[in-house]
Amino acid sequence: MPTALIADDEPNLAAELAERLTRFWPELTIVGMPRNGIEALAQINATQPDFAFLDIRMPGLDGLKVASLATDTRVIFVTAYDEYAVEAFDKSAVDYLLKPLSDERLLRCIARLQREAPAPAPVALPPASKDTGPIRWLTVGLGDTTHLIAVDEVAFFQATDKYTEVVVGDKRHLIRTPLKDLALRLDPERFVQVHRGVIVSLAAIDHVQRDLLGRLRIHLRNRTDTLPVSRAYTGLFKQM
């Protein structure tokens, strides 16, 4: 389960952010809510959270200094001041959220964190249900029209804020079925999960490339899209 720390010298604002994060991302566990930079750094070192939501102007150490020392935790700044944005991204910030923070902006941030979060340990899709077999068709609604899509034609599935994006040819459709539920119904000999938020068709893969930092990305046949491979799934391409 992903974990996060919230550091803000205004306890009411920290509590509000914690409530909204819990509501929009139930799987996220809040491991601490320190009220100054020194406590924030100490708790980050002690708990090693996946994410730290940091105010910038805090007593003791400011959020920028905390971020520069918290090298193993991904930092999201939440501040009322926009003048620190360039320096924040120089500290490898994942996102920069301005107060007052709207639900829409927070949801976009959460979607990004979910896409980039480490995936769980399994390295392949579980077998499809023996009772029903792998799913072969999807129905996609657009206005008053319903389209029938053959699963074999799908290049990849990608989780979005509230839906799953189905990419077929030059078209992208949205369905309400969560990616984790689709994983149980797809044929594991045709589809493989390569990231917490991505399932790709093996037939659609052209090649897999490793960058200078050792990260893998999938290049697809006849498409410009590239797909990330998270560390938990690199074993699928261990021959590289």
Which residue spans of the chain are classified as CATH 2.40.50.1020?
A: 137-237
User: Which residue reads 């589809």 in tokens?
Assistant: 191
**What digits encode the pLDDT tens for the residues 167-211?**
998 888 888 888 988 888 899 999 999 998 999 999 999 999 987
Neighbour-count burial for 31-66, b at 16+ CB within 10 Å, e otherwise: bbbbbbbebbbebbeeeebbbbbbbbebeebbbbbb
Note down pLDDT in tens along the chain; length 240 residues. Answer: 789 999 999 999 999 999 999 999 998 999 999 999 999 999 999 999 999 999 999 998 999 999 988 878 999 999 998 888 878 777 778 899 999 899 999 999 999 898 865 544 444 555 654 445 788 888 876 655 667 788 999 999 999 877 899 999 888 888 888 898 888 889 999 999 999 899 999 999 999 998 777 788 999 998 888 999 988 888 777 654
> E strand or H helix at 138, and its extent?
strand 137-142
Tell me, what amino acid is at 79? T
> E strand or H helix at 145, and its extent?
strand 145-150
What class, spelled out in words, does domain 137-237 have in CATH?
mainly beta
List Cβ<8 Å contacts ≥24 apart for 91-96: 91/64, 91/67, 92/67, 93/67, 94/51
Please tell me the distance from the alpha carbon of residue 88 to that of residue 98, in angstroms, as a whole number: 12
Q: Under CATH, which number does the domain 3-116 receive? A: 3.40.50.2300
Which residue spans of the chain are classified as CATH 3.40.50.2300?
A: 3-116
